[in-house]
């Protein structure tokens, strides 16, 4: 716990009030808020009854996207976007309980220091499952014939306005050909009966979006480096990218520390370096202290950089940053090194700030870090909506649909899209600043609307074994692999090509 003593004291004093409010709370809410999103492993840092926080209620304003099918959303019962993680039961592939920070990206079958990845015929052993198929020839996955270029006259096409259309060719990898699919997103492994959700592609109105071409991507990033900053949905996209690229090459793990939150891979044949940087709050954050039962809240320093990633970015050519879901938890905010307020905290003498206050400031601070020290192509990926229906995440909410919505359909009002709106606003403000900076290009990957149309793409109940005691929890936040999130990488490549 890095809290200064003063802050620690502030946090500890209101013991009684805190306890009371939590007792009330626990009566109505199922434990395990911390086993939320992203983070299969955090929850056990603290006893679960004390980690519960209020649901967003009166101050949740749900705001619609500019889509005709969007009715004005009512400020009701928006579930805390808590992913159905099942911390207590989840084991990593090596059989060990994952570290208490984040769940690991599965280890490549051979993350040894030897350079074996060049050979497409190379067969290697996974730590548990025996041989993993070699990436190329033995793969049953086909190459796309849809791989067309966007024509010059289509270059200005808005990639983010469109419709999902059938694609009989997909998927382009599966759980046998790709080692990087995390357990929770390995929907087929856990018995998902339908496969239709893999068979769609995103069709922007003004052009055809080419399907991701791993060779083209790797040629484009030869000698370059790319970093992803964010939470487990950011990691979800990285895993999709690893899988899409695994048809050509497996990377070598060159991470300098064992910290699974900060992975570095080298695609050695291309000298392409891929960094994954864990920062669900984007700014400096201190965690609840596991030894202090009264410290239940993440503390966010809204005006301070999370130097774990900001200190890395000046060496990168591409940066993809995203965030959102973690900002629905109980949080304490600091500005100017002083406690400035909190959300869902019920601490005496502490201002309860509106739900999106912290997000707005944190995003602004992180965009400032990019404006300050980054000179490549930076992409802000917009909010990834959840699709819990029939209740919130911890009250039986599920996402059992098996096909996308059409955009003229009425979509149930299940997702709070205010974060998307904040992203647009902050992006536009940063964009103006960017004009003054040489080199830096800041772009928006506005995939919120596209993903809103994909209630069928989440693991739902197929993110874990149904025999486990967690079977009542459904993940309607992350995305199955393969699945609609692969489209983010189609779009990423297209954006990179446009910027070239």
What is the distance between the alpha carbons of residues 368 and 62, in angstroms, rounded to a whole number? 27
Nearest one of 458, 466, 495 to 233, comparing CA atoms: 458
SS3 164: strand
Cis peptide before 482 (omega within 30 of 0): yes
Q: Shortest gap between Cβ of 372 and ligand NAG (angstroms)? A: 5
Region of 285 on the Ramachandran plot (φ > 0 left; ψ -120 to 50 alpha; else beta): beta
User: Where would I find the H helices in 213-331?
Assistant: 214-220, 232-245, 307-310
Upstream peptide bond of 171 is cis (omega within 30 degrees of 0):
yes
Residue nearer to ligand NAG on the CB measure, 33 or 65: 65
Quote the least distance from Cβ 391 to ligand NAG, whole Å. Answer: 26
Q: Which is nearer to ligand NAG, 215 or 271 (CB)?
A: 271
What does the binding site for ligand NAG look like in residue numbers (CB under 6 A)? 13-14, 65-67, 115, 129, 160-161, 175-176, 186, 188-189, 254, 266, 268, 271, 273, 305, 307, 310-311, 348-349, 369, 372-373, 406, 408-409, 424, 444, 446, 449
33 or 294: CB nearest ligand NAG: 294
Least Å from the CB of residue 460 to ligand NAG: 16
Active site residue 48: no
325 is catalytic: no
Please confirm, yes or no, whether 259 is among the known catalytic residues.
no
Least distance from ligand NAG to the Cβ atom of residue 463, Å:
13
When the beta carbons of 48 and 186 are compared against ligand NAG, the nearer one is: 186
Smallest gap from Cβ 93 to ligand NAG, in A, equals 10
For residue 318, the cross-strand partners are: 226, 377
Is 382 in contact with 444 (CB distance < 8 Å)? yes
Which of these is catalytic: 231, 398, 456, 475? Answer: 475
Q: State the catalytic residue, choosing from 322, 478, 486, 490.
A: 478
Nearest by Cα to 243 from 192, 297, 198, 296: 198
For ligand NAG, which is the closer residue by CB, 66 or 257? 66
Query: Which residue in the list 232, 323, 340, 346 is annotated as catalytic?
Result: 232
Q: Cβ neighbours of residue 212 under 8 Å, at least 6 residues apart?
A: 172, 244, 486, 489, 490, 493
Q: Name the nearest CA neighbour of 328 among 268, 382, 281, 375.
A: 281
Catalytic residue ranges: 232, 475, 478
């Amino acid at each position: 716990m890095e809290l200064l003593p003063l802050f620690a004291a502030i946090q500890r004093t209101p013991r009684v009030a805190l306890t009371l409010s939590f007792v009330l709370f626990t009566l109505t809410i199922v434990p395990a808020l911390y086993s939320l999103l992203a983070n299969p492993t955090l929850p056990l840092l603290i006893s679960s009854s004390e980690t519960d926080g209020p649901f967003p209620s009166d101050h949740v304003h749900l705001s619609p996207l500019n889509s005709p099918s969007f009715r004005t959303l009512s400020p009701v019962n928006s579930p805390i976007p808590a992913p159905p993680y099942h911390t207590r039961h989840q084991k990593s592939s090596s059989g060990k309980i994952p570290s208490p920070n984040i769940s690991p990206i599965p280890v490549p079958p051979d993350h040894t220091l030897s350079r074996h990845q060049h050979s497409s015929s190379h067969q290697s052993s996974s730590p548990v499952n025996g041989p993993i198929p070699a990436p190329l020839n033995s793969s049953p996955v086909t190459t796309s014939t849809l791989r067309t270029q966007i024509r010059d006259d289509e270059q200005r096409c808005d990639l983010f306005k469109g419709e999902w259309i059938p694609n009989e060719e997909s998927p382009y990898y599966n759980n046998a050909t790709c080692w990087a699919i995390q357990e929770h997103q390995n929907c087929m492994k856990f018995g998902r009966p339908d496969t239709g959700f893999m068979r769609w592609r995103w069709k922007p109105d003004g052009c055809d979006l080419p399907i991701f071409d791993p060779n083209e991507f790797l040629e484009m990033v030869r000698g370059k480096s790319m970093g992803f900053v964010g939470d487990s949905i950011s990691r979800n996209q990285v895993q999709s990218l690893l899988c899409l690229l695994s048809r050509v090459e497996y990377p070598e793990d060159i991470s300098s520390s064992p910290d699974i939150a900060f992975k570095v891979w080298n695609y050695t044949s291309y000298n392409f370096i891929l960094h994954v940087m864990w920062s669900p709050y984007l700014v400096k954050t201190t965690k609840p202290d596991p030894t202090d039962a009264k410290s239940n809240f993440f503390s966010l320093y809204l005006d301070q950089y999370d130097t774990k990633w900001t200190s890395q970015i000046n060496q990168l050519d591409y940066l993809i940053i995203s965030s959102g879901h973690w900002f629905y938890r109980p949080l304490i905010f600091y500005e100017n090194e002083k406690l400035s307020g909190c959300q869902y905290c019920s601490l005496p003498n502490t201002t309860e700030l509106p739900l999106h206050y912290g997000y707005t400031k944190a995003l602004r601070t992180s965009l400032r870090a990019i404006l300050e020290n980054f000179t490549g192509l930076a992409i802000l990926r917009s909010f990834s909506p959840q699709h819990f229906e029939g209740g919130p995440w911890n009250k039986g909410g599920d996402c059992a649909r098996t096909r996308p919505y059409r955009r003229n359909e009425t979509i149930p009002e299940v997702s709070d899209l205010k974060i998307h709106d904040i992203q647009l606003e902050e992006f536009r403000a940063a964009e103006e600043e960017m004009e003054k900076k040489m080199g830096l290009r800041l772009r928006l990957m506005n995939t919120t609307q596209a993903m809103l149309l994909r209630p069928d793409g989440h693991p739902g109940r197929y993110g874990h074994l149904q025999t486990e005691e967690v079977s009542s929890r459904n993940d309607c936040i992350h995305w199955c692999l393969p699945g609609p999130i692969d489209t983010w990488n189609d779009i990423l490549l297209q954006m990179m090509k446009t910027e070239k």
